[in-house]
């Protein structure tokens, strides 16, 4: 391992993977630093799946590296419809990172930032062989928690602007041995016990989404058999199999940027998973022979810190389908807030046929000369973040960051002096088609 790079990317979730592949392919010398011993972030450690909507009519808004990840996973039979296996994501990411010649430091957590005024000189990481100082010309924070910004004392925001609320946490899990046809027959016979948005014309060759079982949940809570914050049971199946992935646990009132709170969340999440599995097995038709296959490695975190950049993406931008002269990504996922204790859930879909853009300025961190940010912790309000946090959009932002940092490296200029037209040229696949 070397100790001096053109670009250091911190955090190997989908955003950091896309950023480092792009920058390295375009010719930069890139190190991707990840605290876990594997890559993927929420897409693997959090077992989050499926990829959320990112097309308008026939126009697929996010292509490029994201599309390569999808294609490779489909080739491996690790992705069906828009759902995928964490294991497949990991192996595809390694292949693309290796082919792009990205240097990887796994099991390496950034613990401090050395800076002079607005310029980051180096970061310190800790790994099994102790502390190491890594220098680079440019840094990209794709840690999801804006950890590099935080350690470097750069400005950030956190939580709802008026209440301070952070979205609920969720521990994903998978079950097998489900009799899906029996389960869906029951759903069809009891539609009032499920969400109205569900598609009841079940197509068993595709992924099926089921969300509800309200009466079962209510009863179990009343009997003290289920944590009162669980609101419903939500799962997506795999085509014609007995397997499903559950986005069901609902962990409230905890801030995932506190290790004490994260520890609590881990215990509450696991308790909720066991309770939901017991409820399904003992009472719900179709689950008589089902069993718990696995739980995610960590509790899924929807939001913590957000950068404050040259532009802050707002809920209004999302709702208005805002377009920008310096657009680097397009998306069509609406405001999606998983409510906190005493807070309503909000899902505000974008009208069919519309999309919004993300400006390059949202990647440039305030008061920092050589630092970019992308993904879950991009510069945004809480509402803005709740929309742009989905995996395809994160990948598009990451790719743009990689392009921007590489151009700055090549031209030996400040990030803010990079011409938008130069960035656009290398990421047109995510922008070009006009609807």
Ligand X SMILES: Cc1cc2nc3c(=O)[nH]c(=O)nc-3n(C[C@H](O)[C@H](O)[C@H](O)COP(=O)(O)OP(=O)(O)OC[C@H]3O[C@@H](n4cnc5c(N)ncnc54)[C@H](O)[C@@H]3O)c2cc1C
> By the criterion CB under 6 A, which residues form the site for ligand X?
10-16, 33-36, 41-43, 46, 48, 50-52, 109-110, 142-145, 147, 170, 247, 300-302, 375-376, 389-391, 394
Please say which residue, 50 or 155, places its beta carbon nearer to ligand X. Answer: 50
Indicate the burial class of 334 (C-beta count within 10 angstroms; 0-12, 13-18, 19 or more).
buried
Shortest Cβ distance from residue 170 to ligand X (Å)? 4
C-beta neighbour count of 289 within 10 angstroms: 11
**Run of H or E including 15:** helix 14-25
Shortest Cβ distance from residue 254 to ligand X (Å)? 13
Helices of type H across 76-167 = 86-99, 147-151
Shortest Cβ distance from residue 223 to ligand X (Å)? 26
The half-sphere exposure of 2 on its side-chain side, counting CA atoms within 13 A, is 13
Q: In the structure encoding, which two tokens stand for residue 325, read together?
A: 């002269």
Please say which residue, 14 or 134, places its beta carbon nearer to ligand X. Answer: 14
Shortest Cβ distance from residue 150 to ligand X (Å)? 9
CA angle 152–157–160, rounded 5-degree value: 160
Please say which residue, 170 or 184, places its beta carbon nearer to ligand X. Answer: 170
| 408 neighbors 360 (Cβ within 8 angstroms) | no
Residues with Cβ within 8 Å of residue 314, at least 6 apart in sequence: 380, 381, 383, 384
CA-nearest of 207, 177, 212 to 288 is: 177
Please say which residue, 186 or 272, places its beta carbon nearer to ligand X. Answer: 272
With tokens 């179990």, the residue in question is 220
* Phi, psi (degrees; rounded to nearest 5) at 250: -140, 100
Shortest Cβ distance from residue 49 to ligand X (Å)? 7
User: Peptide bond preceding 50: is omega within 30 degrees of 0, i.e. cis?
Assistant: yes
Strands, E assignment, 142-232: 156-158, 173-176, 209-212
Residues with Cβ within 8 Å of residue 87, at least 6 apart in sequence: 44, 78
Please say which residue, 46 or 384, places its beta carbon nearer to ligand X. Answer: 46
| DSSP one-letter code for 118 | T
Please say which residue, 186 or 276, places its beta carbon nearer to ligand X. Answer: 276
Please say which residue, 302 or 361, places its beta carbon nearer to ligand X. Answer: 302
Shortest Cβ distance from residue 198 to ligand X (Å)? 16
C-beta neighbour count of 278 within 10 angstroms: 14
Shortest Cβ distance from residue 359 to ligand X (Å)? 18
* Phi, psi (degrees; rounded to nearest 5) at 40: 125, -25
| DSSP one-letter code for 393 | H
Shortest Cβ distance from residue 249 to ligand X (Å)? 9
Shortest Cβ distance from residue 296 to ligand X (Å)? 9
Shortest Cβ distance from residue 43 to ligand X (Å)? 5
Please say which residue, 50 or 177, places its beta carbon nearer to ligand X. Answer: 50
For 21, 25, 71, the CA distances from 99, given in Å and listed in that order, are 9, 9, 15
Instruction: Specify which residues 222 forms β-bridges with.
Output: none
Please say which residue, 209 or 409, places its beta carbon nearer to ligand X. Answer: 209
The half-sphere exposure of 98 on its side-chain side, counting CA atoms within 13 A, is 7
Please say which residue, 28 or 207, places its beta carbon nearer to ligand X. Answer: 207
């Amino acid at each position: 391992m070397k100790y001096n790079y053109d670009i250091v990317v911190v955090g190997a979730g989908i955003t950091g993977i896309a950023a480092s592949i792009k920058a390295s392919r375009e010719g930069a010398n890139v190190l991707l630093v990840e605290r876990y011993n594997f890559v993927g972030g929420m897409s693997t450690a959090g077992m989050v799946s499926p990829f959320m909507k990112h097309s308008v009519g026939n126009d697929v808004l996010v292509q490029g590296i994201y599309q390569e990840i999808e294609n490779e996973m489909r080739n491996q039979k690790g992705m069906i419809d828009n759902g995928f296996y964490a294991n497949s994501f990991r192996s595809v990411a390694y292949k693309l990172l290796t082919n792009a010649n990205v240097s990887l430091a796994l099991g390496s957590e950034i613990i401090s930032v050395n800076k002079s005024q607005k310029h980051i000189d180096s970061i310190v990481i800790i790994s099994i062989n102790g502390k190491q100082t890594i220098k680079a010309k440019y840094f990209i924070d794709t840690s999801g928690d804006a950890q590099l910004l935080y350690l470097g004392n750069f400005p950030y925001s956190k939580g709802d602007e008026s209440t301070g609320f952070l979205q609920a946490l969720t521990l994903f899990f998978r079950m097998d041995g489900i009799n899906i046809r029996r389960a869906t027959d029951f759903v069809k016979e009891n539609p009032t016990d499920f969400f109205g948005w569900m598609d009841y014309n079940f197509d068993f060759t595709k992924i099926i989404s089921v969300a509800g079982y309200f009466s079962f949940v209510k009863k179990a809570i009343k009997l003290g058999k289920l944590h009162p914050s669980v609101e419903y049971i939500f799962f997506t199946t795999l085509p014609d199999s007995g397997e499903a992935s559950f986005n069901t646990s609902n962990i409230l009132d905890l801030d995932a940027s506190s290790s004490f709170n994260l520890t609590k969340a881990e215990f509450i999440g696991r308790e909720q998973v066991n309770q939901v599995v017991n409820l399904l097995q003992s009472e719900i038709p179709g689950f008589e022979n089902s069993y718990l296959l696995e739980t995610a490695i960590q509790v899924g975190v929807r939001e913590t810190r957000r950068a404050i950049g040259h532009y802050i993406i707002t809920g209004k931008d999302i709702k208005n389908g805002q377009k920008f002269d310096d657009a680097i990504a397009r998306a069509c996922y609406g405001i999606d807030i998983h409510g906190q204790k005493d807070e309503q859930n909000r899902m505000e879909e974008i009208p069919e046929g519309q999309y919004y853009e993300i400006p390059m300025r949202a990647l440039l961190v305030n008061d920092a000369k050589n630092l970019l940010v992308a993904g879950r912790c991009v510069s945004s309000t809480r509402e803005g973040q709740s929309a742009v946090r989905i995996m395809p959009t994160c990948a598009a932002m990451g790719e743009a960051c990689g392009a921007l940092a590489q151009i700055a490296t090549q031209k030996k200029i400040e990030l803010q002096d990079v011409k938008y037209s130069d960035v656009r040229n290398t990421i047109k696949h995510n922008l070009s088609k006009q609807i």
